[in-house]
Structure 1
Amino acid sequence: MSAPTDAQWNLANILDAVASRVPPDRPAIVHGPHVVSWQALDQRSNRVARALLAAGHQSGERVAFLSRNHPGYIEGFIACLKSRLIHVNLNYRYTVDELAGVLEDAGATALLYQAEYASTVAALVDKLPALRTRVCLDGAGQGEATARFQDWAADGDASPLGIQREARDPLLLYTGGTTGRPKGVIWPGHHYRACQQESPLVARRATSLAEHLDLIAANPSPGRVLPACPLMHGAGISSTLAELLNGGTALLLAERSFSAHELWQLAERERASRILIVGDVFARPMLAALDEAPGRYDLSALKVISSAGLMWSEEVKAGLLRHLPWLVLADIYGASEAAGLGYAITTRERSTPTGCFQPGPQTVLIDDDGRLVPADQPGEGWLARGEPLPEGYFGDPKKTAEVFRMIDGQRYSVPGDRVRRHPDGSMQLLGRGSLVINSGGEKIYVEEVEEALKRLPGVHDALVVGVPDERWGNVIVALLQAGSTTPDGAALRSGLTPYLAGYKMPKHFIAVDRLPRADTGKGDYRLAREMAQQALAPA
């Protein structure tokens, strides 16, 4: 599927057109008791876009966001699209130095933030003189130089900007950096949209903006998506944007930390049609909440739960379908560098083994010599996809050349996932190449060991790392979030026997109060390795 190049497919142009066609009082954003209508979203984002331009920011400059899930995040993000400025997602869990590293790498000149981060912003301003505009999303913020987002959004010209845009006006998405320094992936907007349209959940794909608007106008039940993960995570903002481009509604959780009961309450009250999660980190507590109170929530409007970024266990899916048997459960396999690598659909009638999926329409297999494996040939290698693709890593031509490769005259993204292709064409995810543990000459994929561990009674979550060892090179260590009891290694190994070969068994099991995971659900393997080494140091 090639990305349309006509400027009608510019993301901001689509949003302008959608706002002109949907009922003005239709909710666009719901956050606790606060509702932003489609008319208000359109007008407020137009005003903020004008204010950013009036502050001297020019097309292509980067605007960073330091915020939890908040309506102002979405309004500001859309304002960037409309003014041809480039959004930069920041992880609000980062230290000042980590934030400064991303801001400096992106060359950000503006920062939108929540008041709770005012002291952090004060420290950043001292480090980054280029950060000349600061806007507080939910208050007065820090210092006289800070503007109030509410003032920008409430006053001024609310009409469409009427500026010329291009289909490829970009988005900049920074990776989580769980195994290395965060990197910014720059996506041409029309490529980003084309990849969204590859999903098997898309019922009909319009060939023109006029047709797209007709489909929206004829839809009596527009989607209402509830992203459980933060908007600063690529999956969170992508699912939100996808629903808004279709004239739907984004439902945002209001509590500071994830609560499964809050999620189900919001889904019931606002009639959510789709929930977006990131693997078992979200799915397990969601299932536990349903198990605690079967039938408590009216979720009859819910159609789909989709997961992106982490494996989602077959057993947890079966538990959710026990409570909600009409649901479609969708795994979306992708990376910041390559969306739509594959999809797995699970229903009550159709189960999918953990880590198995059908490749996307542009997905290919590349062998260890860098050659394409013929589509009808099974084997093991690197997961990759062809165009439409990102331009590469922002400001990093060396890393771009490593991941975005020319093969037989075509460009492919090879983000670093190992897979096995079966004779029927389906694929099985083996793990991230960067997370492979080499122990005694054997390769062990940490995701496979983690998924096996989470099948065992009493193991709520697990991260697996390799720790240096004189004899084996590395030994496998499992960090377990399994309550206050000391893990019984013999019992755990016995439980793992049906799932793992002997050489894949962890040598050490370490109980921890909390695993090092970001709010996105992704594990911090650098910190996990340090925790394991510290725990084993006396031994």
Structure 2
Amino acid sequence: MPESLAAASRAVGDALARRAANHVPLSPVSFLNRAALAHPDRIATVYGGVKRSWSEVRHRCRRLASALRGLGLEAGDTVAVMAANTPELFEAHFGVPLCGGVLNAINTRLDADTVRYILEHGGGKVLICDTEFAGTVRAALAGMATPPIVVDIRDPAAPGEALGAVDYEALLAGGDPDFAGGGPADEWDAIALNYTSGTTGRPKGAVYHHRGAYLTAVGNVLEWDMGRAPVYLWTLPMFHCNGWCFPWTVAAKAGTSVCLRRVTGPAVLDAIAEDGVDHFCGAPIVLKMVADAATTPLPRRVKAMTAGAPPPAAVLAAMEARGFDVTHVYGLTETYGPAVACDWREGWDALPAEDRAAKRARQGIAYTLCEEVIVGDPATCEPVPDDGATLGEVLFRGNLVMKGYHADPAATEAAFAGGWFHSGDLAVRHPDGHIQIRDRLKDIIISGGENISSIEIEDAIHHVPGVAAVAVVGAPDERWGEVPVAYVELGAGGAPPSAEDIVAFCRTRLAGFKIPKRVVFTTLPRTSTGKVQKRLLRDRDDGAKP
């Protein structure tokens, strides 16, 4: 009888051990070389009339890596970047890890105190800064005992004060275009540091490893069914979960990145018409902006990926009607961005438009390369029934989960309790396996013993003409404990709805106990990443009593 592989391995010692010939640490940086070798003349980046090929971009990334080494950067050191969606930030996604560094793309909408905290907490040795944000950065650096070396990005489209001794182009000019760099010694090595929104305190630094970034980049290709040489428009900020890992995804397909400094509906449509854009990502508010601006048919079908908040069915229906194919995904900073996608089923195309939109509004099932996602009991991690009604917490396990929180072991242990990553999101799982977010754990409204999903009410109100955005929170009530209150932001143009109009519409869609007891018209408070700060709404005096 033939020996088993295990027995044979024991007999010959390490003859079947992993070695350089059969095991290379996964890193998305490898996509840069492949793109430049396979398609050296294909356009890699487009911005402000400047187009660069993959061959040129590889040289620029190598120059950056070489120059950073020249500044004294060592393996594992952090390089912070505060920049808009321009080629410099795209190049940093390759140049920084090529020299062994860890990329920390900072949210450009943050205040100086938070920027200072991130630079200090993340240990940034070098800060590459777009001069547009010099005011905030100058204030952040002023309070630092050991400020980083500053490199200025000078963009004629947004001039500002230079803070460093060298600018980005001069830095690259002193770098070696043939600097090879190298992949990580271990695919578990850190490639990026991304800070959470920090809606309830100081932001936490989620540490990404090369393996997870590589697999997410490839997962984006699979879940979006991306074809040859996609033309991708940068509407999603690259500072947000490394642009959901799409800098590396686009390189994996040797596609084109069309950089967009200012995101408006007309600008997106212009890029589709003039630059051949066929893919872009964005939050539901971006989709609404584009749908409102699209008054003529698109020259081709365009794929849009959305996440960040459950997209209102009305917005999804509007996008579909205007020629966009929308894929709804879900994830968190801690999961490299998207790790769950709405997997479109055969037969759903035949459904009425509103029913199709409702299906697309579901978060879906785990990415192919994400090991496991369940809806489970937060305490026991046992799965809840797949009945579309029982609430549980979304729990992740697999390679698309962060290493942990930088310099915060207590938060890391709490997040990974029970062998799962705890998302903090409440959801149901439908009989077809698709999950659907109902609320954040902290946002669920409990009224008279009934669990009320704020998202369900928000989705209904989004169907009211004239509503631009809505947030529903629980307000204290002596009889019921809590009751829902709707905070509504109105759009421009047209006759605005009244509070009575909104309540009357909700009566046609929702059970009586779910109807808002009060409607408040306001401008919604948002975090620097555009998320509505419901905590502030709950704290408002005018929302304390229905």
TM-score, length-scaled by structure 2: 0.84
- The match for 1:174 among 184, 188, 195 is 195
Would you say the 8 A contact 1:330–1:344 is kept in 2?
yes
| CA drift at 1:377 | 7.7
| SS of match in other structure, 1:415 | strand
Aligned partner letter, 1:223: P
Where does structure 2 lack aligned partners over 5 or more consecutive residues?
1-21
Shift in CA distance, 536/381, structure 1 to aligned 2, threshold 3 Å: closer
Shift in CA distance, 518/146, structure 1 to aligned 2, threshold 3 Å: farther
| CA drift at 1:284 | 1.3
1:336 is the counterpart of 2:333: yes
Would you say the 8 A contact 2:365–2:373 is kept in 1?
yes
Shift in CA distance, 100/528, structure 1 to aligned 2, threshold 3 Å: farther
Between stretches 489-498 and 270-279, larger displacement belongs to: 489-498
Alignment of 1:415-434 (within 5 A): 415-434=423-442
Query: Hey, what does 1:394 align to over in structure 2?
Result: 406
State the distance in 2 between where 1:57 and 1:468 align.
53
State the distance in 1 between where 2:302 and 2:282 align.
14
| CA drift at 1:462 | 0.9
Would you say the 8 A contact 2:30–2:183 is kept in 1?
no
1:515 is the counterpart of 2:519: no
Between stretches 309-318 and 383-392, larger displacement belongs to: 309-318
Deviations 1:483-531 (A, max 9, x none): 588863332111012333333322222212x32235644223344445x
Query: Hey, what does 2:29 align to over in structure 1?
Result: 12
Aligned partner letter, 2:246: S
Query: Hey, what does 1:153 align to over in structure 2?
Result: 172
| CA drift at 1:148 | 0.6
Would you say the 8 A contact 2:216–2:245 is kept in 1?
no
State the distance in 1 between where 2:169 and 2:415 align.
41
State the distance in 1 between where 2:416 and 2:363 align.
23
State the distance in 2 between where 1:250 and 1:328 align.
19
- The match for 2:279 among 253, 274, 279 is 274
State the distance in 2 between where 1:53 and 1:396 align.
28
State the distance in 2 between where 1:349 and 1:130 align.
62
Deviations 1:87-127 (A, max 9, x none): 11222221111211222221222211111222322222221
Aligned partner letter, 2:207: I
Shift in CA distance, 424/12, structure 1 to aligned 2, threshold 3 Å: closer
State the distance in 1 between where 2:289 and 2:171 align.
39
State the distance in 2 between where 1:387 and 1:237 align.
17
Tell me the percent identity: 25
TM-score, length-scaled by structure 1: 0.85
Aligned partner letter, 2:189: D
Query: Hey, what does 1:208 align to over in structure 2?
Result: none
1:163 is the counterpart of 2:185: no
State the distance in 2 between where 1:228 and 1:196 align.
17
Would you say the 8 A contact 1:333–1:342 is kept in 2?
yes
Query: Hey, what does 2:92 align to over in structure 1?
Result: 76
Q: CA RMSD in A?
A: 2.9
| SS of match in other structure, 1:476 | strand
Where does structure 1 lack aligned partners over 5 or more consecutive residues?
205-218
Shift in CA distance, 268/186, structure 1 to aligned 2, threshold 3 Å: same
| CA drift at 1:145 | 4.4
1:435 is the counterpart of 2:434: no
Deviations 1:310-345 (A, max 9, x none): 212222222222231xx5321111112235542215
Would you say the 8 A contact 1:135–1:141 is kept in 2?
no
Aligned partner letter, 2:306: S
Would you say the 8 A contact 1:59–1:84 is kept in 2?
yes
Aligned partner letter, 1:342: V
1:104 is the counterpart of 2:115: no
Query: Hey, what does 2:17 align to over in structure 1?
Result: none
Q: How many residues matched?
A: 503
| CA drift at 1:276 | 0.8
Shift in CA distance, 344/145, structure 1 to aligned 2, threshold 3 Å: closer
Query: Hey, what does 1:210 align to over in structure 2?
Result: none
Would you say the 8 A contact 2:194–2:333 is kept in 1?
yes
Between stretches 161-170 and 411-420, larger displacement belongs to: 161-170
| CA drift at 1:138 | 1.4
Shift in CA distance, 68/474, structure 1 to aligned 2, threshold 3 Å: farther
Query: Hey, what does 1:370 align to over in structure 2?
Result: 380
State the distance in 2 between where 1:178 and 1:74 align.
27
Deviations 1:171-214 (A, max 9, x none): 2221222344321111211122223434553659xxxxxxxxxx
| SS of match in other structure, 1:500 | coil
Shift in CA distance, 172/480, structure 1 to aligned 2, threshold 3 Å: same
State the distance in 2 between where 1:55 and 1:228 align.
32
Shift in CA distance, 202/168, structure 1 to aligned 2, threshold 3 Å: farther
State the distance in 2 between where 1:358 and 1:260 align.
27
State the distance in 1 between where 2:545 and 2:313 align.
38
Would you say the 8 A contact 1:229–1:519 is kept in 2?
no
State the distance in 2 between where 1:285 and 1:303 align.
15
Alignment of 1:21-420 (within 5 A): 21-23=38-40, 25-138=41-154, 145-163=164-182, 165-166=184-185, 167-170=187-190, 171-199=192-220, 200-201=222-223, 203=225, 221-234=228-241, 236-255=243-262, 258-279=263-284, 281-290=285-294, 293-295=295-297, 297-298=298-299, 300=300, 302-324=301-323, 327-338=324-335, 340-345=338-343, 348-349=349-350, 351-353=356-358, 355-360=361-366, 361=368, 362-373=372-383, 379-388=390-399, 389-406=401-418, 411-420=419-428
State the distance in 2 between where 1:371 and 1:161 align.
45
Shift in CA distance, 524/27, structure 1 to aligned 2, threshold 3 Å: farther
State the distance in 2 between where 1:86 and 1:120 align.
23
Deviations 1:36-94 (A, max 9, x none): 32122111111111111111121111121212211111112321121121111222221
Shift in CA distance, 470/126, structure 1 to aligned 2, threshold 3 Å: farther
| CA drift at 1:536 | 5.2
State the distance in 1 between where 2:78 and 2:481 align.
44
| CA drift at 1:468 | 4.3
Shift in CA distance, 371/94, structure 1 to aligned 2, threshold 3 Å: closer
| SS of match in other structure, 1:294 | coil
Larger radius of gyration: 2
| SS of match in other structure, 1:187 | strand
Between stretches 44-53 and 142-151, larger displacement belongs to: 142-151
Shift in CA distance, 491/375, structure 1 to aligned 2, threshold 3 Å: closer
Query: Hey, what does 1:216 align to over in structure 2?
Result: none
| CA drift at 1:144 | 6.8
